[in-house]
Amino acid sequence: MLQHPAKPTSLLLAALTALVATFAVGRDAAAYIPDDRWSTTASGSTGVQGDGATITWSLVADGTSIVSEGSSNLISYLDGLFGVSSGGNNFSARPWFSLFQESFDRWTELGGINFVYEPNDNGVQMGGNAAGALGVRGDIRIGGAAIDGPNGTLAYTYLPNNGDMVIDTGETAFYSNSANNYRQLRNTVMHELGHAFGLLHIESSSDHLLMEPFIDTSFDGPQLDDVRGLHGLYGDALEKTNNGAGNDSFGLATSLGAIAAGGSKLIGAAAASGQSVGANETDFVSIANSSDFDFFSFTVNSASLLDVTLTPLGGVFFQGAEGGAQSSFDANARNDLTLAVYGTNGTTLLGTASSSAAGLVESLAAVSLPAAGQYYVRVSGSTTNVQLYQLQLSVQSAVVAQPGDFDGDGDADGNDLLVWQRAFGVSGGGLAADGNHDGVVDDLDLAILTAHFGQSLGGAAAAVAAIPEPAAATLCLLGAAMLFGRSRAR
């Protein structure tokens, strides 16, 4: 149920009690307040907590009976608001249909539910016991009736496994408000969809959340705690990949593509900015429970060193059940995560990190990836609580530089001597001729060059071929360099 920001009437409270209050008792604190998730839909079993689900939705034709409300008049009501004179039963062609579609699509792109429009609805009473059936009617059915006229209740929705939604067709000014692409209508529908898949009301004095009981149009769609609720019940959007098998094993890993030397990949960053979620943000990943494993794969084109940072996210905010006391809640520390890196066979462990407590970063530095190929990173948790996170992978080349190779061409020769001469006496960071990395180009660096003169990364034979100077000429060059260096140093 969603209400105008006015004091609710006793009638509204009674309706709320009948729909949700009996489910709100005895739940573990989770900020978002879950009810039962869907167990079975028209598409089959939905598995267990944290598994994805397919849930269909349909619009009922006018005249369809609604429990406790009489006949639905939603279609003619919306047609009237949008100036449709005649449209028959092809609801998806109506100008208002896209607002419903966008509302379902927004939840779909944020987590493990795949909402699918079911164009059929056979008109049996909604709000009752009629389960969804493919080609017959949706799991969630949407109708409308004059609930209480303007103000008060905007809509209400039955919890799973019912999910039917009743929109108050006594509201005219509210639903016809076109500001921000009919945000008042869309936020109402998206809020009710939260109930339809299993979320109850929450209140927050510090932040704005979609599942609060009064309409709020200061944001667009689900906010971070609402997304957490979706993930807690049905997992993240990656649980829908691989035909619903998710990314729980290395063979089903989510590909992050190639990472070049000096490059990095970041996933889950949309959850890093507190409870506020923009309407276009979709990059949210989470561990839903202790048996949820998130595998990611990536490739490197040569031997590399990998840095990995795993940051638990979710934010800290005040929250409480509807009408109850509020308290500070740390959604960063819901589940103590473990990080692991695996080799190209997906099973050889190259590095793991789990020492930090829940809420703190786990990281691995300079994990050796011994050759080009595809590697794997796994994120897992230790409790049944959902944990949003951000994962960053950074790759550096593992190629060891040839000592004295100041010009970076793979060998130590006369050209490197020229580089050293031109930089002699210069101080600073990252100087090519600063062979011992002490911040100044000096005789110590020349000593490194002379010690390795004639060597190359290609091996001894290549080194000989690459060095045209005979030994005497080399010594002569070095002697000149020493003199040059001393004159510069004075």
Q: Is residue 193 a contact point for Zn ion (CB under 5 A)?
A: no
CB atoms closer than 10 angstroms to residue 34: 18
Under 8 Å between Cβ of 419 and 411: no
Q: How far apart are CB 246 and Zn ion at their closest, in Å?
A: 29
| CA-closest candidate to residue 257, choices 297, 305, 307, 304 | 297
Of 3 and 332, nearer to Zn ion (C-beta) is 3
| d(C-alpha 256, C-alpha 265), whole Å | 7
Q: Tell me the Cα Rg of the chain.
A: 32
Asked if residue 166 binds Zn ion (CB under 5 A), the reply is no
**Alpha-carbon gap, residue 199 to 360, rounded angstroms:** 28
Closer residue to Zn ion (CB): 192 or 294: 192
CA distance to 346, 375, 480, per residue, from 258 (Å):
16, 10, 47
At its nearest, how many Å lie between Zn ion and the CB of residue 50?
Answer: 24
For residues 157 and 309, which CB has a smaller minimum distance to Zn ion in the complex? Answer: 157
> Which C-beta is closer to Zn ion: that of 1 or that of 306?
1
The answer to whether residue 74 forms part of the interface with Zn ion (CB under 5 A) is no
Closest by CA position to 147, among listed 214, 66, 212: 66
33 is an interface residue for Zn ion by CB under 5 A = no
Ranked by CB distance to Zn ion, the top (closest) residue is 1
- Token pair listed for 54: 């397919």
Which region among 2-10, 160-168, 218-226, 244-252 touches Zn ion (by CB under 5 A)?
Answer: 2-10
Rama region for 454: left / alpha / beta (φ>0; ψ in -120 to 50; rest): left
Does 1 help bind Zn ion (rule: CB under 5 A)?
Answer: yes
Q: How far is the CB of 32 from Zn ion (least distance, A)?
A: 13
* Minimum CB–partner distance for residue 349 and Zn ion (Å): 46
Q: How many residues bind Zn ion (CB under 5 A)?
A: 2
Asked if 75 interacts with Zn ion (CB under 5 A), we say no
Q: Taking the complex as a whole, how short is the minimal distance between the CB of residue 168 and Zn ion, in angstroms?
A: 12
Count the alpha carbons within 13 Å of 459 in the hemisphere toward its beta carbon. 1
* Other CB atoms within 10 Å distance of the CB of residue 69: 19
Q: Is 167 in the site for Zn ion (CB under 5 A)?
A: no
Q: 1 or 42, CB closer to Zn ion?
A: 1
Sole residue written with tokens 């939603």:
74
Comparison of 6 and 48: residue with beta carbon closer to Zn ion: 6
Q: Is 12 in the site for Zn ion (CB under 5 A)?
A: no
285 contributes a contact to Zn ion by CB under 5 A: no
CB of 191 vs Zn ion, minimal distance in Å: 6
User: Is the CB of 159 or the CB of 285 nearer to Zn ion?
Assistant: 159
Are the beta carbons of 192 and 19 closer than 8 angstroms? no
Question: Considering the rule CB under 5 A, would residue 2 count as an interface residue with Zn ion?
Answer: yes
Residue 387 Cβ vs Zn ion, minimum distance, rounded to whole Å: 26
Q: Which residue, 1 or 99, has its beta carbon nearer to Zn ion?
A: 1
The answer to the question of residue 310 lying near Zn ion (CB under 5 A) is: no
Compute φ and ψ for 204, nearest 5 degrees. Answer: -140, 125
Q: Does 267 bind Zn ion (CB under 5 A)?
A: no
Name the phi and psi angles at 308, rounded to 5.
-130, 135
Instruction: Considering the complex, state which of residue 163 and residue 312 has its C-beta at the smaller distance from Zn ion.
Output: 163
Smallest distance from Zn ion to CB 156, Å: 7
Per-position x/- string for 314-333, each x denoting binding to Zn ion as judged by CB under 5 A, each - no binding: --------------------
Tokens for 403, please give them: 């000592």
Q: What are phi and psi of 468, to 5 degrees?
A: -75, -25
> 2 or 78: whose CB is closer to Zn ion?
2
- Kindly tell me which of 1 and 166 has the beta carbon lying closer to Zn ion: 1
- Which one of 1-9, 224-232, 247-255, 267-275 is the stretch in contact with Zn ion (CB under 5 A)? 1-9
Shortest distance, position 147 Cβ to Zn ion, whole Å: 13
Which residues, 6+ apart, have CB-to-CB distance to 52 below 8 Å? 46, 112, 113, 114, 234, 235, 239, 240, 244, 246
DSSP assignment string, 303-328: SEEEEEEEEEE--EEEEEETTS--EE
Minimum distance, C-beta of residue 98 to Zn ion, in the bound complex (Å):
23
- With respect to Zn ion, which residue has the nearer C-beta, 123 or 320? 320
Residue listed under structure tokens 């604190």: 29
412 binds Zn ion (CB under 5 A): no
What residues does 369 pair with on adjacent strands? 304
The answer to the question of residue 147 lying near Zn ion (CB under 5 A) is no
CA–CA distance, 16 with 4 (Å, rounded to integer): 14
Strand bridging mode 65-66 / 2-3: unpaired
Least Å distance, CB 285 to Zn ion, is 27
99 binds Zn ion (CB under 5 A): no
Q: Centre a 10 Å sphere on the Cβ of residue 442 and count the other Cβ atoms it contains.
A: 21
Contacts with Zn ion by CB under 5 A lie at 1-2
